[in-house]
Every structure is written in structure tokens, then in C-alpha cells.
Amino acid sequence: MLLNPHLFAAATDALWTAVSYDSFTTVFPLWHKSAIRADLVNTNVIRFSGEDKDSQRVRAYLQGLRPVADREVALELGKALEPAVQKKIQDIAKSAGGNRFSFSYSRPARLYDQLHERYFELSGSQFRHEDSLLVGTYTLGDLRNFYSALLAVCAVHENACFVRAQLTGAYPANSGVIVRRREEWIKLLSKISRLPGGVVSDILGDLVFGTTKTLDLYVHPFVPLGDKPQLLGVVPHFPLRSRSDENIFRVCSHLRPAFFDVITNAKEEQMRRDLKSRIRTNFQIRGPRTLPGDLPDIDLVIEDPASSTAVIAELKWLRKGIRSVEHIRQEADFLYGVSQVEKVKAFLQANPQFLFDRGDLTEDLRKFSNVYYVLVPRDFFVWIDPAKGVPVIDYDAFSPRHENLAEGMKELLTYDWLPREGSEFEIKYETFTVNGVGVETEVIYPSY
């Protein structure tokens, strides 16, 4: 069936209503929990706001915006591959058969292989757990291989859609849905990834929309179409902009809690191991250290004898929240981590020889010129003024760049690793309306 103007208008209206309604379901729970403020702008519009400038910088950071020196390698076709690939995609779009609203082309096997190899290489810097980690009947390395194959298919298609629109002047979408039967997806992705068909089938099954109660196309990009569950559609830009390694843990938390528990218990040790590998070798690193009674453990102790500096760190790897209620729960867990640092600090100030007696430091804490007690969270945190409470330094930033630990900590505590409004991001109020009632919310946009 061809897309007609009436159907297109109805679909556009339905999609905008869904986007607007999603804004309502995000801000109202946060207002109800006193996380944001609501002001009546006029009779039918409520403005939700309340974040200070530092909190806005944190929110931009959690959305992936970084100062230029700290930006990750993007898994985007235009930034990842040479211009020759663009030429191949132009040829695909030119020779494709179809009409105004759809088109098809032969599978470019060699291009898929080339892109798969490139995406697999790039994903090594973004997947943050061991490839051998078991997440079901397959490993995280299998998922990385599978997803690199999926990204290859999506990248070719999304760019072919763009070229198709330029060539025909009529194709209405820059990211048309890829539609294949389930067995065809399995066969194609198995061929590109060289994974057994059974493994590909299991991974794909975990990524079908509706498999869990998390209804999100970044987590579950394969969508059953209509009354034909074996017919699966994929919108390319969702896989291309997702964090598949974190998404599969979310799937595990619903489908395989036992696997998720193992992953969760291993997170702290992995953070400690990774931090030890990237912190300068002239620093002495210890931890964990158990404290007496019901006090929390000390996760990491870093010492630089040359600058007479000690850092006592609590590590906290929190799962990223999708819905606002998850944000509220994550904030509670984060603040619990802050209270743990405060308890550790109070104990060590009362017992400054404790770590020296156990060989974690080379001298009594009272003899150090600089002692820092910090919380090092990963994937989620909220702003706390370091002058009024426990300093918080995100895991990705927590790697003193100086041979002198005192200077490194002073630099981190300037918070220059957070993006700045006007340089890395800008904030605009956007209005979303449903049934005549509107909400204005602060939306962060990248400046680069």
C-alpha cells in the first residue's frame, strides 16, 4: 500500500501527540517529587524549570556533551569512514528500484563487511565491559559483533535514504524503515557478523520491541509490524545512536535477573581495575578496605608521596534512567553514596592512623598536606556544590592528568570537564501541547 497524503497527515499528528505526551509524563512526576518548579505562564501553559547553571551543565554532560578535548569517537558513518564509501552509497541509491515512498536495492555484501569491521573497531572504545561477560546464551562480545553488523546495515540505508531524497526530490523521509522477515534478518546479520544463526536469533529476540516492559526503540530497535510478528522493521537512526552495551543490561534486568545481579556485583571491581590501569604509575593505589561495624567499605585509596596528597574515593556505578521515576530512584542511590563518603570521612578523621596501620598509606592521615574525600559515580550524578558538601567527580573525568596528584585534583575540582552553556550546549524552552494544554520545558541542544 502506498503512503497517501491523508495517512501521512494522520501519522504526523499521532507522532507529535506522542512526543508531546511524553514531555508531560516526564515533567509532572519530577514536579510532584519537588525536583523541578512549575510556573503558570498563561491560562493553558505551564513552564517547568528550576535547575541552576551547574545542574544544567551536569544534565548536558549526562546527555553526552563534552568539551572538545574529551569527546568520544562518534560511531557515525560520515565521521568514521573515507569519502569512497559515500560514493558507493550514492551508486546504491542511483541504481535502486522503487517509487516515491519506497525503494529497494541489492545487498552490498562487500560494503557491509567493510563497515562491520570499522564499527567493530570503533565500538571497542565504547563497550565498557569485558567481551567475555555472559549476558544470556551469548557474550557481550557476541552482542558487539552483532550490533556492528546491524550498524553497517543501518548506516548504508540511512545514508542511501538521504541520497535518494536528493536524487528524486520526492522521497519524504531521511531515515526510511528497513523491513525484513525475521529469518531474513537472522540470515543477513549472521552472514555479516559470522556468528552462528542460533546466537543471532537469541540476540535479535532480546531486541524486539515489546520483549520487556521498557518501551524504547533505542533498547528494542526491531519492531513487529501490524499483525505479522515475523515481519520486523528497524528505523536506522535508533541503533546508530544507541548504547547497546548498556541497553542489553537493561534487558537482562527484566529477562535474566540472575545474570544482571552478577553484572552489578562485578561493576565496582571493574571500575577499580580500570581506574588503576589509567592512573599514573607514580601514585600508590590501594583498595578496597573494610571498615569496622556497619560502616561502608573504602573503595579506592590513591596516594602521591611527592605532593603529600591522599584521595579517599567511593565508587558508584548507577544505571542510566530512561523515565523520570527512574531518575528519582537513581538520585536517591546517588545521595546514599554521598552519605557513605561522609561516614568514611568522619571515621578516618577520628582514626587518622587506620589506613597507615593497614599498609594502605605510607603515613598517618594527619601528616598529609592534602586529603580529598570524593564520590566517583558513573553514568549518573547530580550537582553538589563542592564548597558545601562532598566533591563529585564523574568516573570518565576522574583521571588526574598531572604527575602531581595535588595539582591534578585541583584541576578536576574546577569542573572544566563539564560542558559550558554557549560553548558546548545551549538551552531553549520548547512548548508541547496536548488537548489544548501546553507545557514548556528546558531542552538542551549541542552547540557543535
Cell of 135: 549476558
Closest CA to 271 of 120, 407, 403, 375: 375
Where on the phi/psi map is residue 285: left (φ > 0), alpha (ψ -120 to 50), or beta?
Answer: beta
pTM of the predicted model, to two decimals? 0.76
The residue ranking higher by pLDDT, 304 or 161, is: 304
What percentage of the chain has pLDDT greater than the value 90? 46
pLDDT at 183 over 80: yes
User: For residues 259 and 252, what is the distance between their CA atoms, to the nearest angstrom?
Assistant: 7
Which pLDDT tens digit goes with each residue over 267-292? 888 888 888 888 877 899 998 999 99
pLDDT at 2 over 50: no
User: For residues 204 and 221, what is the distance between their CA atoms, to the nearest angstrom?
Assistant: 9
185-199, 309-323, 349-363, 365-379 — which is least confidently predicted?
309-323
Average model confidence (pLDDT) for the chain? 87
For position 73, what pLDDT does the model report? 52
For position 3, what pLDDT does the model report? 53
Which pLDDT tens digit goes with each residue over 53-74? 898 999 899 888 888 777 665 5
User: For residues 366 and 322, what is the distance between their CA atoms, to the nearest angstrom?
Assistant: 44
Residue 432 φ then ψ, to 5°: -120, 130
User: For residues 415 and 118, what is the distance between their CA atoms, to the nearest angstrom?
Assistant: 34
90-99, 218-227, 250-259 — which is least confidently predicted?
90-99
31-40, 105-114, 330-339, 387-396 — which is least confidently predicted?
31-40
Residue 177 φ then ψ, to 5°: -70, 135
The mean pLDDT of 366-392, rounded to a whole number, is 92
Which domains does the chain show, CATH number per domain?
70-255 (no CATH), 257-412 (3.40.1350)
Residues 6+ apart with CB under 8 A from 228: none
Residue in the structure block whose three cell numbers are 552478577 = 262
The residue ranking higher by pLDDT, 239 or 79, is: 239
Query: Is the Cβ–Cβ distance between 233 and 179 less than 8 Å?
Result: yes
The mean pLDDT of 393-420, rounded to a whole number, is 90
Q: How many CB atoms lie within 10 A of CB 190?
A: 19
Cell of 397: 573525568
Beta bridge partners of 437: 434
The mean pLDDT of 36-54, rounded to a whole number, is 87
The residue ranking higher by pLDDT, 331 or 82, is: 331
6-10, 145-149, 257-261 — which is least confidently predicted?
6-10
What secondary structure, in 3-state letters, does 37-62 show?
EEEEEECCEEEEECCCHHHHHHHHHH
User: For residues 323 and 22, what is the distance between their CA atoms, to the nearest angstrom?
Assistant: 10
3-state helix, strand, coil in the chain (%, to 5): 45, 20, 35
The mean pLDDT of 345-363, rounded to a whole number, is 97
Which pLDDT tens digit goes with each residue over 129-159? 889 989 999 999 999 999 999 999 999 998 8
pLDDT at 358 over 60: yes
pLDDT at 303 over 90: yes
The mean pLDDT of 211-216, rounded to a whole number, is 83
Closest CA to 285 of 397, 386, 201, 361: 361
Q: Which helix (H) or strand (E) holds 286?
A: strand 284-286
DSSP strands (E only) in 133-268: 178-181, 223-225, 228-234
